[in-house]
Amino acid sequence: MPLCNARVGQNGPVPASIRLPDGTRLRPLTARSVVLSTLLGKKGGSATPYELVLVGRELGITETALRASLSRMLEAGDVVRADGRYRLAARLVERQRRQDEAAAPPAREWDGTWHIAIVTASGRPSAERAELRAALRGSRLAELREGVWMRPGNLAAGLTPRPEIDLFSGAKPHMDDRELAGQLWDLPGWAETARHLLEGFHDAATNAARFTIVAAIVRHLLVDPVLPSTLLPATYPADELRRVYADFRGEMLELGSRMAG
């Protein structure tokens, strides 16, 4: 995507929310997200408050809001300050790296086998059960029935062993693979939401609106099961959604570098 287009530099006040074609409302752009994106994209990883204010103006964030957010981030340890410049804390840089990997996890050719995770521990506190379920979903598994989680073995990263589960690889379920995938995931529903996000992104009139929609795109990619193509519905839009995210992230990094350069 070219940086110099009709959207750049035409940002008025940020709307209260962004409405997608299906009526879904998205939370608007925040000053914190502008600071994060700018510092991640800046060569050397640092910027002055004024440089950050310039980027904020380009994205419809007021100077007051941006400086207030910067102060809160400093107090929380999200950024560090030295010689009048701000830099992201190492933990946030690492979190962004993990998010980028999770949005587009590397896959390999599928050999037709599945991973199975069977929860063996019982009687655990609800907080521990919720944490385990979140970890399994984060590994792109879905629950077939209580305590039995599955996914095709096409992701390059293996499953992380845990004492609460037994892991099995190379399984061959006794049912049709596409039928099983359809039981585990609502693939048509995921695809429909993805198309609304794509339509909203391409119709957005400002960088601020596109930034807001891209944040929702990332959240949606994090719950994509990343299945082999043979198990997906026709015209499944996951790859297109990833291209939009990668292109816009590159554009915003370029903007941050140019404005804060």
Phi-psi label, residue 169: left if phi above 0, alpha if psi -120 to 50, beta otherwise? beta
Residue 187 and residue 3: Cα distance in Å, rounded?
33
Q: What share of the chain is helix, strand, coil (3-state, %, to 5)?
A: 50, 15, 35
**pLDDT of res. 11:** 38
- The crossing angle, in degrees rounded to 10, of helices 31-41 and 238-259 is 80
pTM reported for the whole predicted model? 0.81
The rounded distance, in Å, linking the Cα atoms of 171 and 169 is: 6
State residue 25's pLDDT score.
84
Question: Which parts of the chain register pLDDT below 50?
Answer: 1-16
- Type of residue found at 112: G
d(CA 57, CA 49): 12
- HEC readout, 218-238: HHHHCCCCCCCHHHCCCCCCH
Tell me the C-alpha distance between 101 and 260, whole Å: 26
* The pLDDT value given to residue 117: 94
Predicted pLDDT of residue 249: 77
Amino acid found at 159: L
Which are the contacts of 80, defined by CB distance < 8 A and separation ≥ 6? Answer: 74, 86, 87, 89
Q: At what angle do helices 49-58 and 63-76 cross, to 10 degrees?
A: 130
Instruction: From residue 109, give the alpha-carbon distance in Å to each of 115, 153, 233, 235, 237.
Output: 15, 9, 18, 20, 19
